[in-house]
Amino acid sequence: AINISKLRESTGFITFDPGFKNTGITKSSISFIDGEKGELLYRGYPIEQIINQCSFIETSYLILNGELPNTAQLKSFSEKIKKFNSIHKEINKILDNIPNSYHPMGILSSLTYILDAFINSLREEDLYLHLLAKLPILAALTYRKKIGVPPTYADPHLDYTSNLLKMFFSIPNQSYELNPIISDALNKILILHADHEQNCSTTTVRLLGSAHAGLFSSISAGMSALWGKLHGGANQAVIEMLEAILKSGGNIKKWIEKAKNKKDPFRLMGFGHRIYKNFDPRAKIAKKVAENVIQQLGISDPILELAKEVERKALQDSYFLEKKLYPNIDFYSGIIYQAIGIPKEMFTVMFALGRLPGWMAHWKEMKSNKDPIGRPRQIYIGYKKRNIKKN
Ligand code: ACO
């Protein structure tokens, strides 16, 4: 227990809040979460409306600029992004020298960091457009290198998500046929990830920005935070967990008991959330998108059926109900990625592509708020002052 009067003597009166569970670090007008109601708004609009009425690029505009674009604004935004739809050839060389065994998130984060060296724009507004244009290229190049397919170029005739799919999946000298079912599913999953107030990676981006670090290094740091298994890395961990359940004979109860056992570090991946204490509205939408895309593509996925059964069984268990642990966005997103052909190792990269507008909007807001440098306090529990005694 903390002795408050001693604490006051040693440090003055400070708030002790590990994990910032109840600390507001800024005023923000980008997204709003009501964790009790299970509600998520982007700039005031419910996620359920955005998902059915907007494209990812419209959503990006909304998140970055505060309002939905009209037709002319959307056209000009998309055209400007296309203008920056290429990367310096030196980036390809750097990618060539990264071992193929390295995780795509490490590659994406490193390349985003170094990208800065090859951008000459001075206008801040252009930097956002450069990142929106170039991140899909870096992601596609990373994927293609992994599978041993030559690099590709962006197609300016396509919309944002179609271009992304073509850059991932086109084979040299073969025509690539876009599947609108897949484009739609990708569009929706990117929208679901576009912003989520002060999550770990977004706060990382703001924190770096508060020290006046540049946009690219701040975003790169956000990616590193996202990679963690308790954050965006959970999407890969969920599928790996579901595959392990299947492989071990499908005994869901056994895995649920394992997650409940405090002596075992295992957690039911894709369950629980710091803010949502009812349900994560994104998980509800992702579940529907997963069901639809699998049905429309005419594939059968035992992992989807297993995931639904895990959800059902967990939500019958008093441990999960009492602790208010519901599926989060990562529980069903991997099933969508797999259905559209994205391999497990690339899941968190897709999350990063979706979260990019949110990270940038927070960086921009942090600057315009003139937020001070982020610098939390601590409670020192180490040695008292002592003298060095060498033998
Ligand atoms: N499985 C089993 N028990 C869990 C789980 C889980 N998935 N999540 C939380 N708990 C338990 C904890 O053991 C703790 O129990 P206790 O009170 O008896 O000690 C209690 O529920 C509260 O958990 P905390 O870790 O204190 O909650 P916190 O808000 O710090 O963490 C987090 C939230 C990290 C999401 C957590 O629920 C978790 O680890 N989930 C699994 C990983 C995951 O799915 N991450 C993705 C989150 S969404 C995103 O970042 C995009």
Check residue 3 and give its pLDDT: 66
Reported as a single tens digit per residue, the pLDDT across 168-219 is: 999 888 888 999 999 999 999 999 999 999 999 999 999 999 999 999 999 9
Reported as a single tens digit per residue, the pLDDT across 56-79 is: 999 999 999 999 999 999 999 999
**231: annotated active-site residue:** no
**212: annotated active-site residue:** no
Check residue 122 and give its pLDDT: 76
Check residue 231 and give its pLDDT: 95
Reported as a single tens digit per residue, the pLDDT across 116-156 is: 999 987 799 999 999 999 999 999 999 999 999 999 899 99
**Residue among 238, 261, 267 whose CB has most ligand 1 atoms within 8 A, to mutate:** 267
Reported as a single tens digit per residue, the pLDDT across 304-363 is: 999 999 999 999 999 999 999 999 999 999 999 999 999 999 999 999 999 999 999 999
* Residue 5 scores a pLDDT above 70: no
* Residue 364 scores a pLDDT above 70: yes
50 lines ligand 1 (CB under 6 A): no
* Residue 8 scores a pLDDT above 60: no
Four-residue CA torsion sign, 259, 260, 265, 271: positive
C-beta neighbour count of 313 within 10 angstroms: 14
148: amino acid identity, one letter? G
Check residue 11 and give its pLDDT: 63
286 lines ligand 1 (CB under 6 A): no
Check residue 13 and give its pLDDT: 82
Nearest to 201 by CA among 362, 365, 15, 326: 362
Reported as a single tens digit per residue, the pLDDT across 14-63 is: 899 999 999 999 999 999 999 999 999 999 999 999 999 999 999 999 99
277 lines ligand 1 (CB under 6 A): no
362 lines ligand 1 (CB under 6 A): no
Tokens of residue 336, six digits: 């969508």
Ligand 1, atom 42, lies closest to the CA of 230
Reported as a single tens digit per residue, the pLDDT across 214-253 is: 999 999 999 999 999 999 999 999 999 999 999 999 999 9
Distance CA 299, CA 306 (A): 15
Q: Which residues pair with residue 33 across a beta bridge?
A: 40
pTM: 0.94
* 101 band by pLDDT with thresholds 50, 70 and 90: very high
